[in-house]
A and B are shown apart, each in its own frame.
Chain A
Amino acid sequence: MNLLSVRDLHAGYGKVQVLYNGHIDVEPGELVGIVGPNGAGKSTFLGALAGSVRASNGSIDFDGASIKGKNPEDIVRLGLAMVPEGRAIFTDLTVNENLRLGLTGRREKSGAQRAIDEVMDLFPVLTTHKNHQAGLLSGGQQQQLAIARALVSEPKLLLLDEPSLGLSPTVIQDVFGVLARIQEQGTAIVVVEQRAHLVMSIAVRTLVMREGHIRATLSQADAQDEAKLAAAYFGTGEDRE
């Protein structure tokens, strides 16, 4: 059974529609990528899943129930956590306080300390800076904090919006290495990226978005095929839908 199943999703801001006919399926433990140029509607798609962008049409089923129209604060409690674009950590708060905020989204209040210990294992650097202001961390550390903060709610599905934004290549490698480890622990992941290659190498499937539509779904094998990728990305050749 699919963990996440989205059909015919339309979303936007006010009268401006940004996402048309969005669809995606994610099984438990899968890592699925969404790529496409700037302004393709990727972030809007994720926002609609997390409840921060209003979906006007279509269906979003998560873990056997519809979550369309639910508040973000309720959706996270169902096990769908989001790491927003630009990390969005609270720079005035300490690392520890940021993590404590992440606990808000847990369904069960027990096991909170264990969850924090686990992410500290995953990101040892956060232990060192536990009581420092989060704004003082480097970009890569902030991204790790943002992911850790989402993980302490022990989600079944983690959404990441442009995790590589503003990071150096080595740091990006680290972050994506961590994603693989999170996936190994059984958490499904959906990653939005502009840098298509980063995602496609680790994703089981990758959706290619352009101008608010999903133009193609590429398998891991397709990702090696430059011509196919370029066709999907830039709209040369026929659109597969």
Chain B
Amino acid sequence: MIQTILDALSYGGIYGLAALGIGLVFGVMRLVNFAHGELIAIGAYLLIVTIDLGLPLSILIAVTGTAILALLMEFGVFKRLRLAGPAVLLIASFGVSVFLQRFYEIIFGALPLSGQIAPWMAGVIEFGDTTITRGSVVTIILALVLLSAMWFFIEKTTLGLQIRAASSDFQTARLLGVRSNRVIGAAFVFSGVLAAAVAFVLVTQRGSVDPLFGVNITILALVGTVIGGLGSLQGAALGGFAVGATISLLNSFLGNYRVYTYTWLFILVIIVLLVRPGGLISNKAVKERV
């Protein structure tokens, strides 16, 4: 029972991090970035390829590499589409996503690449009669630390303030002198860092990575940002958490019917979009720039 709750919390934390990464970029440029999954995938690839250098160095390389790829996306593609609407950006990110999947296939092969990252995470901790996995505890701690760090950055720093302002009214923020490219670049870098954290947890769980590694979690995290309210950072993190925890709990309780979890989840998404376009958690309306 305790393990079930811990699993729900750790799943929720991981999906929350992924959703926050998507929400950050959406906030400042109204881009729903399908290619966030490929940021997670490159993080996982880098971890597995460099793990022989030792875990700390490997993590450093993965975080840096993922952040650089996020910036490359911005400079290579999205910066050139500043005048495009959200629908065009969505299609473009779909293109970037497929491009990177095929790129990974060419570089690393279509088959899964295995590796042991932090095998100690698979171990268990015993408290009298109950045993819990280390992985879920570490994941929860990691999620808490990163979410607090992001909260501090967003709420307490000047750059964070600028990101919040740009998320709610980009035009006015620019009139006040907020440098759009800098804010958007920062959002991409942080979404890359968050993607690397997600990659770390997922790859320790699964022990392998393939070109489509990040697709599933991205689609589900996207659900989280929609439910939480696109454009609201707290909403995105909470929405992601809710989706992750729900999936984890449904998987434990639904038995054979759990294969239909996605159906109910996505029907819920459609209902939320129809009834409360601003999201369940946030009251803010999605302001699409005209």
Enumerate chain A interface residues (CB-CB to B < 8 A): 50, 52, 71-73, 76-77, 81-82, 84, 88, 90-93, 97, 100-102, 104-106, 149-150, 153
* B161 and A105 contact, CB distance less than 8 A: no
Q: With a CB–CB cut-off of 8 A, which chain A residues contact B164? A: 90, 92-93
Q: How far is the CA of A207 from the CA of B205 in the complex (A)?
A: 69
Rounded to whole angstroms, the CA-CA distance of A52 and B171 in the bound complex is 7
> A88-B169, A92-B168 given as contacts; is B162 within 8 A of A71 (CB)?
no
Closest 4 CB pairs of A and B: A105-B177, A104-B177, A88-B172, A76-B177
Inter-chain contact A149/B176, CB cutoff 8 Å: yes
The chain A residue sitting closest to B284, CB to CB, is A92
Question: How far is it, in angstroms, between the C-alpha of A194 and the C-alpha of B260 when the chains are bound?
Answer: 59
Is the beta-carbon distance between A72 and B174 smaller than 8 angstroms? yes
Residues in B154-184 with C-beta less than 8 Å from chain A: 158, 161-162, 164-165, 168-169, 171-180
1/0 per residue B118-154: CB within 8 Å of A?
0000000000000000000000000000000000000
Q: How far is the CB of B83 from chain A (nearest CB, A)?
A: 10
- Tell me, rounded to whole Å, the shortest Cβ–Cβ distance linking A200 to chain B: 26
Instruction: Specify which chain A residues have a CB less than 8 angstroms from the CB of B174 in the assembled complex.
Output: 52, 71-73
- Measured between beta carbons, the chain B residues less than 8 angstroms from A91 are 168
The reply to whether A90 and B177 contact each other, CB–CB distance below 8 Å, is no
Query: Which of B168, B169, B178 interacts with A73 by CB under 8 Å?
Result: B178
| A76 engages B175 (CB within 8 Å) | yes
- The 8 A CB mask of B261-290 against A (1 = contact, 0 = none) is 000000000000000000000001000000
Cβ–Cβ contact B175 & A50, under 8 A: yes
| Closest B residue to A72 using CB positions | B174
Of the four ranges (under 10, 10 to 19, 20 to 34, 35 or more), the interface on chain B belongs to 10 to 19
Q: Please give, as numbers and ranges, the residues of chain A lying within 8 Å of B158 by CB-CB distance.
A: 100, 104
Task: Tell me the bound Cα distance from A84 to B178 in angstroms.
Answer: 15
Using A52-B175, A104-B177 as known contacts, list a sample of 9 further A-B pairs with CB atoms less than 8 Å apart, ordered by residue number in A. A72-B171, A73-B175, A73-B179, A73-B180, A76-B176, A92-B284, A93-B164, A105-B176, A149-B176
Whether B177 contacts A77 by the Cβ 8 Å rule is yes
Closest to A150 in B: B176
**In the bound complex, do residue A153 and residue B161 qualify as a contact, i.e. CB atoms below 8 Å apart?**
no
A149: B residues at CB distance < 8 A: 176
State in angstroms the CA–CA spacing of A101 and B162 once bound together. Answer: 7
* B289 → A minimal CB distance (Å): 12
| CA–CA, A210 and B175, complex, Å | 26
A72-B174, A100-B161 known; A90+B180 contact, CB < 8 A: no
Task: Verify B175–A102 contact, CB threshold 8 A.
Answer: no
Cα A155 to Cα B24 in complex, Å, equals 31
Q: Which residues of B contact A106 (CB under 8 A)?
A: 177
Q: How far is the CA of A17 from the CA of B26 in the complex (A)?
A: 31
In this complex, what residue of B is CB-closest to A89?
Answer: B172
Residues of A within 8 A of B173 (CB): 101
Digitize B79-99: 1 where CB-to-A-CB distance is under 8 Å, 0 elsewhere.
000000000000000000000
Least CB distance from B252 to A in Å reads 37
* Cα-based distance from A104 to B176 in the complex (angstroms): 6
Contact B165 A102 (CB under 8 A): no
Nearest CB on B from A157, distance (A): 13
| A17 and B173 alpha carbons, distance in the complex (Å) | 25
A residues in contact with B161, CB < 8 Å: 93, 97, 100-101
Residue from A50, A72, A100 having most chain B Cβ neighbours under 10 A:
A72
Q: Which B-chain residue is minimally distant from A153 (CB atoms)? A: B177
28 contacts between A and B (CB under 8 A): A52-B171, A52-B174, A72-B174, A73-B178, A73-B179, A73-B180, A76-B176, A76-B177, A84-B171, A84-B175, A90-B164, A90-B168, A90-B172, A92-B168, A93-B165, A93-B168, A97-B161, A101-B161, A101-B165, A101-B173, A101-B178, A102-B176, A104-B158, A104-B176, A104-B178, A105-B177, A150-B176, A153-B176
